[in-house]
Structure 1
Amino acid sequence: MNICVVTQQYKNIFSGVGLHANNLTNALLNDGHKVTLVLPEDQAPQLISPQLSITTVKKPRFNQNQARWISLSFSFNTALQRLESQSRFDLVHFTDARESFFCTPHASMIGHVNDTYSAELKTPLEYKRNYPDWLLRWLYYSAVHYLESRKLHRLKLLVANSQYTANTIIKTYPKTAPKVRLCYKSVDIERYHEIDNRRKVSPPDLDHPIILFVGSNMYRKGVPDLIKAAPGVIKQHPQARFIIIGEDKSTDRLKRLCYDLNVDRNFEFAGWQSQESLLSYYQRASVFVMPSLTEAFGVTFLEAMAAGVPVIGTNVGGIPEIIHDGTNGLLVPVESPSSITDAINQLLSDAQLRERFIQSAFSTLNNFSVDKMMECTRSLYQEILEN
């Protein structure tokens, strides 16, 4: 097949979107398909293959803003029109369905729904309780909600990253119901085997434990609650270090919260890290924690599991489809710093529990392998082509 993959991320991975774009493209090339990547100019890969073509567009106008997909969608449309004047695609695959909203290719479109925060639109007061940028966030989510209600059903198929996402999209936008399919995101398990082996040879130092968080949009992913949980952890583990990986415009505000709670010496805000650098952080981590307020899926839990790091998440959104409380990790109530404290201390003090979770997590990962993801993707492609 001749497949066009349209994505905002590839070379530099900031979220599950970039991770999926890499796994998808590599698997399609391995299957022998011809692939055209359409992406921003700063995301062009070094990957060389006779079956791969690359078309770049200008970086989005709001590159560090959630709304960057809007300008990208217009740029992607121009690129697709130019490409389709030269050749025919069997389908166009968007790693983020929103980026198709202002595109009108001749080929059928398939797109991923990666989050639910716009579909689950709340009142301004609810955002004000948790977000310093509550008004802008509410206005942005409201605009996206409006566009999703009018644009999502235009795609041939919509790929939800969790059953929770699928149910939410169908409930909020009933027109999408016939087109929504569940296809879990994947993690390249083989890539993490060496990290797990190194952890076995040289286990993390529990006298100086590292609690790791990886993600952007840090208020939504519960970093303030993690900071509030820190004093209770440090009381039992004075040498504990909390490492926060990711870029976020609210970092300075979060650092001030650390200072106010007198835990700033125990926190390191390490910024964005490449996938290669991230492996070294997983290797040294004692526990991985992401206490999200809302989360459609949570691919970083899969990364931590693959690296052999026990995980803690909140009992919200699609997270329980990955973490089974007490079996392969711990789930805590949303917005409950004290529960986060208890969960971290429990894992740091119980070696048998950590090992049981790690071994169980390896079994869980079989459901989220690249092979499983591609098996699902091939069936969706076949459905589109047959119809």
Structure 2
Amino acid sequence: MESAGWLCHRCYDLRTAESLLLEIGPCIGVVDLSHDDFSIHSFSAMVNRNKQVRWIAIVRDEQLANEAIGQFIVNFCLDYFSVPIPSDRLLQTIGHQIGMLNLERKVWPQLGNFGQQGLQGSTTVMKKLRDQVKRIALSDVSVVISGEIGTGKILVADAVFQASARAKQQVVRVNCETMTADWIIETEHGAQSVFEAANNGVLVLEEFTALTDACQQALYQVLVDGSYCGPKGKTIAVDMRIISITHHSLDNLVTLATLRRELYFRLNVVSLTVPPLRERSDDIILLAEFLLLKYARQYNSVAKSLSEQAQAMLLQYPWPGNVRELICQIKRAVLLAENKCIEADQLDIPRLIDDKLSLKKVREESERNALLTVLENNKGQISAAARELGVSRATMYRLLNKHQLIPPPRCFRQSHA
């Protein structure tokens, strides 16, 4: 490939590959599966996170009988080659895909310019956050990620995990609002202890301040002892990294009466704060254009740009729902677009005509609009809508009740599976 004049990068582990793809953006990726020294689950997760890459797989013929490998190739790869590799055909395929990539860059010039989702932006606060993620990820200490609702805290947690030495291991995400005192969850392997599932990997605690006192006490004991009580009272050693997420500010966490201080200091070895969108105003148009191109391609929409009036509206709006609200707005506009240019009146943003309009009212109206949009996108399925917003079903129901949006059974049916 190098003799053909192409710039090639070799990566021997997923963490290095993830870091490289973050820097170079859209490219051709060749995944060598022929040596059986890989986890297809980890490969799939990395490839799924880097959809800006055109993937080609290399396998042995007998591996094609493996269902997981077959699904990986069909779901994520443009083509595959069996060993011994037919060099001429491989070079021809890569050359054609590079041509397609160059053509795509002409049609979608901004796509992929922002690297890994959740860390995009050129403002000082986002550059600082990216640098902190890179430095913190390489250590193995516990991390607390704070930030307002909708700022992308879970995406930042994923970035820390992906850049860490544990990237090949399991990541277990726990909604602390619904966590029971026994710390048992349902996994693909059946009912398991959270600590068993996260052993040697990473445990992500979403809204960890919502843990009951009994759960906090149990977690603290596991962190102190480095073990937990397994079946039949057997003591089992556990090695896991913990990433804790909260919408509370770091200052509020210290004084939060419901949070055990001894647990907090165990969890908060280092901390990251994800800035609200209003503190990254220079990123708003860049993010909006990136999201527009992303969803236009995903939904095969004609939309390609934002009018000057639409951009001005995006800039003057305070974005109480942060990046999550911006995503909902752009996705909705793209889905409903009839022309290449999205105009201001196609954005479902509250008009701030009254200068005395309270921030509380703006936040409530924005929150209600975001809920309506996500329900519309998911055809009224509350569980699916909750997953898109990154909240639990319980939180989703509270928000729907708050805004009197509980859908009647005849309109929206929920799955009880």
- With the shorter chain as reference, the TM-score category is under 0.3
**TM-score using structure 1 length:** 0.27
Structure with bigger gyration radius: 2
**TM-score using structure 2 length:** 0.25
